[in-house]
Amino acid sequence: MKEKLMICGGCNAKIGPGDLNKILTKIPQTTSERLLVGFDTSDDAAVLKMTDDLAIIQTLDFFPTMVSDPYLYGKIAATNALSDVYAMGGEVLSAMNIVCFPENYDLEMLGEILKGGAEKVKEAGGVLVGGHSIHDSTPKYGLSVTGLIHPDKILKNNNCQLNDNLILTKPIGSGIITTAYSVGEASEKAFLEATEAMQTLNKYAAEVIVDYDVNSCTDVTGFGLAGHLLEMLAGAYSANIYFDKIPYIMEAYECAKECLVTAGGQRNRNQFSNQVENITQEFAVEELIYDPQTSGGLLLSVTEKETDELLLALLDAGVSASLIGKVIEKNKVGITIYN
Protein backbone atom coordinates (compact mmCIF):
# COMPACT_ATOMS: atom_id res chain seq x y z
CA MET A 1 0.00 0.00 0.00
CA LYS A 2 1.66 3.15 -1.17
CA GLU A 3 -1.28 5.50 -1.30
CA LYS A 4 -0.75 9.01 -0.14
CA LEU A 5 -2.92 11.62 1.48
CA MET A 6 -3.56 15.04 0.04
CA ILE A 7 -2.15 17.88 2.08
CA CYS A 8 -4.65 20.24 3.69
CA GLY A 9 -2.55 21.87 6.31
CA GLY A 10 -2.81 20.75 9.97
CA CYS A 11 -3.16 23.67 12.33
CA ASN A 12 -3.17 25.90 9.30
CA ALA A 13 -6.75 24.78 8.89
CA LYS A 14 -7.70 26.46 12.15
CA ILE A 15 -10.37 29.15 11.94
CA GLY A 16 -8.82 32.62 12.36
CA PRO A 17 -8.63 33.96 15.94
CA GLY A 18 -10.55 37.15 15.16
CA ASP A 19 -13.40 35.35 13.41
CA LEU A 20 -13.68 32.89 16.26
CA ASN A 21 -13.84 35.46 19.06
CA LYS A 22 -16.67 37.24 17.33
CA ILE A 23 -19.03 34.27 17.49
CA LEU A 24 -17.82 32.79 20.76
CA THR A 25 -18.96 35.83 22.71
CA LYS A 26 -22.53 35.21 21.57
CA ILE A 27 -22.73 31.60 22.77
CA PRO A 28 -24.77 30.99 25.94
CA GLN A 29 -22.55 30.18 28.92
CA THR A 30 -23.08 27.14 31.09
CA THR A 31 -21.32 26.79 34.39
CA SER A 32 -20.61 24.36 37.16
CA GLU A 33 -18.99 24.64 40.57
CA ARG A 34 -16.70 21.87 39.45
CA LEU A 35 -15.39 23.85 36.50
CA LEU A 36 -11.91 25.17 37.35
CA VAL A 37 -10.79 26.11 33.84
CA GLY A 38 -13.31 26.58 31.08
CA PHE A 39 -14.45 28.29 27.98
CA ASP A 40 -13.96 31.85 29.22
CA THR A 41 -10.16 31.85 29.40
CA SER A 42 -9.46 30.52 25.89
CA ASP A 43 -7.35 27.85 27.57
CA ASP A 44 -6.25 24.66 25.84
CA ALA A 45 -8.51 22.33 27.77
CA ALA A 46 -11.24 22.30 30.40
CA VAL A 47 -10.55 21.18 33.97
CA LEU A 48 -13.30 19.83 36.24
CA LYS A 49 -12.75 19.23 39.95
CA MET A 50 -13.80 15.79 41.17
CA THR A 51 -12.40 15.80 44.71
CA ASP A 52 -10.07 18.11 46.64
CA ASP A 53 -7.05 16.36 45.22
CA LEU A 54 -8.30 15.19 41.85
CA ALA A 55 -9.55 16.97 38.75
CA ILE A 56 -10.09 15.74 35.20
CA ILE A 57 -8.88 17.47 32.08
CA GLN A 58 -11.14 17.25 29.03
CA THR A 59 -9.92 18.19 25.58
CA LEU A 60 -10.35 17.43 21.90
CA ASP A 61 -8.32 18.19 18.82
CA PHE A 62 -8.42 16.99 15.23
CA PHE A 63 -7.47 18.28 11.83
CA PRO A 64 -7.00 17.59 8.14
CA THR A 65 -3.85 16.00 6.75
CA MET A 66 -0.63 18.00 6.91
CA VAL A 67 1.66 15.23 5.64
CA SER A 68 0.99 12.64 2.93
CA ASP A 69 2.08 9.52 4.86
CA PRO A 70 -1.01 8.20 6.74
CA TYR A 71 0.96 6.57 9.57
CA LEU A 72 2.97 9.74 10.20
CA TYR A 73 -0.19 11.84 10.00
CA GLY A 74 -1.81 9.63 12.67
CA LYS A 75 1.17 10.05 14.96
CA ILE A 76 1.30 13.82 14.54
CA ALA A 77 -2.45 14.39 14.95
CA ALA A 78 -2.48 12.27 18.12
CA THR A 79 0.62 13.96 19.54
CA ASN A 80 -1.04 17.31 18.97
CA ALA A 81 -4.31 16.26 20.63
CA LEU A 82 -2.53 14.79 23.66
CA SER A 83 -0.52 17.98 23.99
CA ASP A 84 -3.40 19.97 25.46
CA VAL A 85 -3.32 17.76 28.57
CA TYR A 86 0.41 18.34 28.96
CA ALA A 87 0.02 22.07 28.46
CA MET A 88 -2.21 22.09 31.57
CA GLY A 89 0.44 20.17 33.52
CA GLY A 90 -1.59 16.95 33.62
CA GLU A 91 -1.19 13.30 32.69
CA VAL A 92 -3.12 11.33 30.09
CA LEU A 93 -5.75 8.88 31.30
CA SER A 94 -7.71 7.84 28.21
CA ALA A 95 -8.42 8.80 24.62
CA MET A 96 -10.99 8.17 21.88
CA ASN A 97 -10.51 8.44 18.13
CA ILE A 98 -12.34 11.03 16.01
CA VAL A 99 -12.30 10.05 12.34
CA CYS A 100 -13.65 11.50 9.10
CA PHE A 101 -12.76 9.39 6.08
CA PRO A 102 -13.85 9.40 2.42
CA GLU A 103 -15.96 6.47 1.30
CA ASN A 104 -13.90 5.88 -1.84
CA TYR A 105 -10.47 5.81 -0.12
CA ASP A 106 -8.55 2.65 0.68
CA LEU A 107 -9.44 1.58 4.24
CA GLU A 108 -5.86 0.35 4.71
CA MET A 109 -4.90 3.97 4.83
CA LEU A 110 -7.25 4.59 7.73
CA GLY A 111 -5.69 1.60 9.44
CA GLU A 112 -2.28 3.28 9.17
CA ILE A 113 -3.62 6.53 10.57
CA LEU A 114 -5.21 4.78 13.55
CA LYS A 115 -2.07 2.73 14.14
CA GLY A 116 0.05 5.88 14.34
CA GLY A 117 -2.44 7.48 16.75
CA ALA A 118 -2.70 4.39 18.95
CA GLU A 119 1.06 4.17 19.30
CA LYS A 120 1.19 7.72 20.59
CA VAL A 121 -1.62 7.14 23.09
CA LYS A 122 0.32 4.13 24.33
CA GLU A 123 3.53 6.13 24.60
CA ALA A 124 1.57 8.75 26.55
CA GLY A 125 0.62 6.07 29.08
CA GLY A 126 -3.07 6.37 28.25
CA VAL A 127 -5.66 3.83 27.24
CA LEU A 128 -7.46 4.06 23.89
CA VAL A 129 -11.11 3.29 24.53
CA GLY A 130 -12.88 3.54 21.17
CA GLY A 131 -14.02 6.37 18.98
CA HIS A 132 -16.39 7.57 16.32
CA SER A 133 -15.98 7.66 12.56
CA ILE A 134 -18.02 9.17 9.73
CA HIS A 135 -17.71 9.50 5.96
CA ASP A 136 -16.58 12.88 4.73
CA SER A 137 -15.05 14.32 1.56
CA THR A 138 -11.55 14.69 3.07
CA PRO A 139 -9.81 12.77 5.87
CA LYS A 140 -9.65 14.28 9.33
CA TYR A 141 -8.29 12.65 12.45
CA GLY A 142 -7.73 13.44 16.07
CA LEU A 143 -8.45 12.44 19.65
CA SER A 144 -10.76 13.31 22.46
CA VAL A 145 -8.55 13.02 25.53
CA THR A 146 -9.22 12.77 29.26
CA GLY A 147 -6.41 13.61 31.64
CA LEU A 148 -5.83 13.80 35.37
CA ILE A 149 -4.39 16.62 37.46
CA HIS A 150 -4.23 17.87 41.03
CA PRO A 151 -6.60 20.87 41.29
CA ASP A 152 -3.88 23.03 42.87
CA LYS A 153 -1.34 22.30 40.17
CA ILE A 154 -3.17 23.47 37.05
CA LEU A 155 -1.01 25.45 34.66
CA LYS A 156 -3.07 28.19 33.04
CA ASN A 157 -2.10 29.68 29.71
CA ASN A 158 -2.61 33.30 30.77
CA ASN A 159 -1.03 33.58 34.19
CA CYS A 160 2.52 34.80 33.55
CA GLN A 161 4.08 37.16 36.09
CA LEU A 162 6.36 40.18 35.83
CA ASN A 163 10.05 39.30 35.24
CA ASP A 164 9.24 35.67 34.41
CA ASN A 165 11.52 34.09 31.85
CA LEU A 166 10.05 32.50 28.73
CA ILE A 167 11.13 29.02 27.66
CA LEU A 168 10.21 27.26 24.41
CA THR A 169 10.62 23.50 23.95
CA LYS A 170 10.44 22.78 20.21
CA PRO A 171 11.73 24.62 17.15
CA ILE A 172 9.24 26.78 15.22
CA GLY A 173 8.80 26.80 11.45
CA SER A 174 7.07 23.42 11.04
CA GLY A 175 4.04 24.99 9.33
CA ILE A 176 6.20 26.66 6.70
CA ILE A 177 8.28 23.51 6.13
CA THR A 178 5.42 21.02 5.81
CA THR A 179 3.59 23.34 3.42
CA ALA A 180 6.68 24.14 1.34
CA TYR A 181 7.60 20.45 1.26
CA SER A 182 4.17 19.51 -0.05
CA VAL A 183 4.76 21.70 -3.10
CA GLY A 184 8.33 20.53 -3.60
CA GLU A 185 10.05 23.64 -2.25
CA ALA A 186 11.63 22.27 0.93
CA SER A 187 14.20 19.50 1.39
CA GLU A 188 13.62 16.03 2.77
CA LYS A 189 16.01 16.87 5.59
CA ALA A 190 14.02 19.90 6.72
CA PHE A 191 10.80 17.92 6.44
CA LEU A 192 12.20 15.18 8.69
CA GLU A 193 13.35 17.82 11.16
CA ALA A 194 9.86 19.29 11.28
CA THR A 195 8.01 15.99 11.54
CA GLU A 196 10.41 14.71 14.18
CA ALA A 197 9.41 17.66 16.38
CA MET A 198 5.73 17.27 15.50
CA GLN A 199 5.62 13.65 16.67
CA THR A 200 7.50 14.29 19.90
CA LEU A 201 5.11 14.16 22.85
CA ASN A 202 5.13 17.17 25.16
CA LYS A 203 4.85 14.57 27.91
CA TYR A 204 8.57 14.59 28.56
CA ALA A 205 8.58 18.35 29.11
CA ALA A 206 5.38 18.29 31.19
CA GLU A 207 6.78 15.64 33.54
CA VAL A 208 9.68 17.96 34.36
CA ILE A 209 7.88 21.29 34.70
CA VAL A 210 5.39 20.17 37.35
CA ASP A 211 8.20 20.33 39.91
CA TYR A 212 9.09 23.96 39.18
CA ASP A 213 7.59 27.43 39.67
CA VAL A 214 6.05 27.60 36.23
CA ASN A 215 3.45 30.37 36.32
CA SER A 216 1.97 29.81 32.90
CA CYS A 217 2.16 27.22 30.15
CA THR A 218 0.62 26.72 26.73
CA ASP A 219 1.40 24.68 23.64
CA VAL A 220 2.33 26.63 20.53
CA THR A 221 -0.13 25.68 17.79
CA GLY A 222 -2.29 27.42 15.22
CA PHE A 223 -1.84 31.02 16.33
CA GLY A 224 1.94 30.76 16.09
CA LEU A 225 4.50 31.76 18.72
CA ALA A 226 3.29 35.37 18.56
CA GLY A 227 -0.39 34.54 19.05
CA HIS A 228 0.14 32.13 21.90
CA LEU A 229 2.59 34.43 23.66
CA LEU A 230 0.12 37.31 23.42
CA GLU A 231 -2.53 35.02 24.91
CA MET A 232 -0.15 34.29 27.78
CA LEU A 233 0.56 37.99 28.37
CA ALA A 234 -3.22 38.50 28.51
CA GLY A 235 -2.90 42.24 27.96
CA ALA A 236 -1.43 42.59 31.48
CA TYR A 237 2.25 42.39 30.52
CA SER A 238 4.53 42.76 27.53
CA ALA A 239 7.44 40.55 26.48
CA ASN A 240 10.86 40.94 24.93
CA ILE A 241 11.98 38.00 22.85
CA TYR A 242 15.37 37.45 21.22
CA PHE A 243 15.38 35.96 17.77
CA ASP A 244 18.88 34.49 18.03
CA LYS A 245 17.67 32.53 21.06
CA ILE A 246 14.51 31.17 19.43
CA PRO A 247 14.94 27.64 18.09
CA TYR A 248 13.73 27.38 14.50
CA ILE A 249 14.17 25.06 11.55
CA MET A 250 16.94 26.64 9.53
CA GLU A 251 15.33 26.02 6.17
CA ALA A 252 12.05 27.55 7.33
CA TYR A 253 13.91 30.84 7.59
CA GLU A 254 15.04 30.52 3.98
CA CYS A 255 11.51 29.62 2.86
CA ALA A 256 10.09 32.59 4.77
CA LYS A 257 12.54 34.89 2.98
CA GLU A 258 11.11 33.67 -0.29
CA CYS A 259 7.54 34.13 0.89
CA LEU A 260 6.82 30.42 0.79
CA VAL A 261 4.34 31.07 3.53
CA THR A 262 0.90 29.90 4.45
CA ALA A 263 -2.51 31.49 4.56
CA GLY A 264 -2.67 30.71 8.28
CA GLY A 265 0.53 32.67 8.84
CA GLN A 266 -0.87 35.69 7.03
CA ARG A 267 -4.11 35.44 9.01
CA ASN A 268 -2.05 35.49 12.21
CA ARG A 269 -0.08 38.47 10.89
CA ASN A 270 -3.30 40.36 10.17
CA GLN A 271 -4.55 39.60 13.64
CA PHE A 272 -1.44 40.19 15.74
CA SER A 273 0.94 42.49 13.86
CA ASN A 274 -0.32 45.65 15.57
CA GLN A 275 0.88 44.15 18.86
CA VAL A 276 4.32 43.14 17.63
CA GLU A 277 7.36 45.36 17.13
CA ASN A 278 10.17 43.82 15.14
CA ILE A 279 13.44 45.57 16.00
CA THR A 280 15.39 43.14 13.81
CA GLN A 281 13.63 44.63 10.76
CA GLU A 282 13.92 41.20 9.18
CA PHE A 283 10.84 40.05 7.35
CA ALA A 284 11.57 36.32 7.72
CA VAL A 285 11.69 36.69 11.50
CA GLU A 286 8.08 37.85 11.48
CA GLU A 287 6.97 35.02 9.22
CA LEU A 288 8.45 32.53 11.67
CA ILE A 289 6.76 33.91 14.75
CA TYR A 290 3.40 34.05 12.94
CA ASP A 291 3.84 30.54 11.49
CA PRO A 292 1.04 28.22 12.64
CA GLN A 293 2.52 25.16 14.31
CA THR A 294 1.03 21.71 14.19
CA SER A 295 1.86 19.89 17.40
CA GLY A 296 4.27 22.60 18.53
CA GLY A 297 6.27 22.76 21.73
CA LEU A 298 5.40 24.14 25.13
CA LEU A 299 5.84 27.83 25.90
CA LEU A 300 6.59 28.27 29.60
CA SER A 301 6.67 31.32 31.82
CA VAL A 302 8.86 30.58 34.84
CA THR A 303 10.19 32.60 37.77
CA GLU A 304 13.68 34.06 37.35
CA LYS A 305 14.89 32.09 40.34
CA GLU A 306 14.02 28.68 38.94
CA THR A 307 14.86 29.33 35.30
CA ASP A 308 18.36 27.85 35.23
CA GLU A 309 17.44 24.72 37.14
CA LEU A 310 14.37 24.13 35.00
CA LEU A 311 16.38 24.52 31.80
CA LEU A 312 18.95 22.03 33.04
CA ALA A 313 16.27 19.58 34.15
CA LEU A 314 14.57 19.79 30.75
CA LEU A 315 17.82 19.19 28.94
CA ASP A 316 18.58 16.27 31.30
CA ALA A 317 15.23 14.75 30.35
CA GLY A 318 16.18 14.97 26.69
CA VAL A 319 13.84 17.87 25.95
CA SER A 320 15.23 20.60 23.70
CA ALA A 321 14.50 23.80 25.56
CA SER A 322 15.59 27.39 25.00
CA LEU A 323 15.30 30.58 27.00
CA ILE A 324 13.79 32.94 24.44
CA GLY A 325 12.76 36.05 26.33
CA LYS A 326 11.29 37.78 29.33
CA VAL A 327 7.98 39.09 30.65
CA ILE A 328 8.23 42.83 31.26
CA GLU A 329 5.92 45.63 32.35
CA LYS A 330 3.21 46.44 29.88
CA ASN A 331 4.30 48.88 27.19
CA LYS A 332 2.65 50.07 24.01
CA VAL A 333 3.22 46.82 22.12
CA GLY A 334 2.72 43.26 23.33
CA ILE A 335 5.87 41.66 21.94
CA THR A 336 9.17 43.25 20.96
CA ILE A 337 11.55 41.09 18.95
CA TYR A 338 15.25 41.84 19.29
CA ASN A 339 18.13 40.20 17.45
Partner 1 sequence: MEKINCLGDACPLPVIKTKRALKKANKVEVLVDNLIATQNLVKMAEQLGGNVSVVKENDNLYHVFLLKEENSLVTDSDITDITIEESKYNYKKEQPYIVVCSSEMMGAGETELSKLLIKSFLYALTEQDVLPEKVLLYNKGIYLGLKDSETVADLHLLEQAGVDIMSCGLCADYYGVTDDIEVGTITNMYAIIENMRLYPVVKPS
Binding residue numbers: 14, 41-44, 61, 84, 131-133, 219
User: Please, what sign has the CA dihedral across residues 251, 181, 139, 95?
Assistant: negative
User: Please, what sign has the CA dihedral across residues 212, 213, 219, 225?
Assistant: negative
Answer yes or no whether residue 14 interacts with partner 1 by CB under 8 A: no
Answer yes or no whether residue 331 interacts with partner 1 by CB under 8 A: no
* Given 234, 257, 306, 338, the residue binding partner 1 (CB under 8 A): 257
Residue whose C-alpha is closest to residue 146's, from 80, 217, 48? 48
Answer yes or no whether residue 261 interacts with partner 1 by CB under 8 A: yes
* Binding span for partner 1 by CB under 8 A among 75-83, 102-110, 142-150, 253-261: 253-261
Shorter beta-carbon distance to partner 1: residue 85 or 186: 186
Answer yes or no whether residue 23 interacts with partner 1 by CB under 8 A: no
With beta carbons less than 8 A apart as the criterion, state whether 319 and 205 touch: yes
**Distance between CA atoms of 61 and 48, rounded to whole angstroms?**
18
Considering only residues 157 through 186, tell me which ones interact with partner 1, judged by CB under 8 A: 179-180, 183, 185
Other beta carbons less than 10 A from residue 107's beta carbon: 9
Rg of the Cα atoms in the chain: 19
Whether 11 is catalytic: yes
Total residues binding partner 1 (CB under 8 A): 20
Tally the C-alpha atoms within 13 A of residue 72's C-alpha that lie toward its C-beta: 19
Residue whose C-alpha is closest to residue 126's, from 86, 78, 93, 82? 93
Answer yes or no whether residue 143 interacts with partner 1 by CB under 8 A: no
With beta carbons less than 8 A apart as the criterion, state whether 76 and 198 touch: yes
CA dihedral 177, 183, 188, 191 (to 10 degrees): 20
Instruction: Name the catalytic one among 8, 11, 160, 255.
Output: 11
Shorter beta-carbon distance to partner 1: residue 44 or 254: 254
* Given 15, 18, 50, 211, the residue binding partner 1 (CB under 8 A): 18
Shorter beta-carbon distance to partner 1: residue 134 or 183: 183
Answer yes or no whether residue 40 interacts with partner 1 by CB under 8 A: no
Answer yes or no whether residue 137 interacts with partner 1 by CB under 8 A: no
* Binding span for partner 1 by CB under 8 A among 84-92, 221-229, 231-239, 267-275: 267-275
* Burial of residue 205 (number of CB atoms within 10 Å: 0-12, 13-18, 19+): buried
Instruction: Classify 275 as helix, strand or coil.
Output: helix
* Binding span for partner 1 by CB under 8 A among 159-167, 197-205, 234-242, 251-259: 251-259
CB of 260 to partner 1, least distance (A): 5
Alpha helices, DSSP H only, in the chain? 17-24, 70-87, 107-123, 174-182, 188-198, 203-209, 224-233, 250-257, 263-272, 283-290, 304-316
Task: Look at phi and psi of residue 117 and say left if phi exceeds 0, alpha if psi is from -120 to 50, else beta.
Answer: alpha
Shorter beta-carbon distance to partner 1: residue 166 or 337: 337
CB of 287 to partner 1, least distance (A): 8
With beta carbons less than 8 A apart as the criterion, state whether 322 and 239 touch: no
CB of 186 to partner 1, least distance (A): 9
* Given 41, 58, 68, 266, the residue binding partner 1 (CB under 8 A): 266
Answer yes or no whether residue 114 interacts with partner 1 by CB under 8 A: no
Give contact residues for partner 1 (rule: CB under 8 A). 9, 18, 21, 179-180, 183, 185, 257-263, 266-267, 269-270, 274, 283
Residues designated catalytic: 11
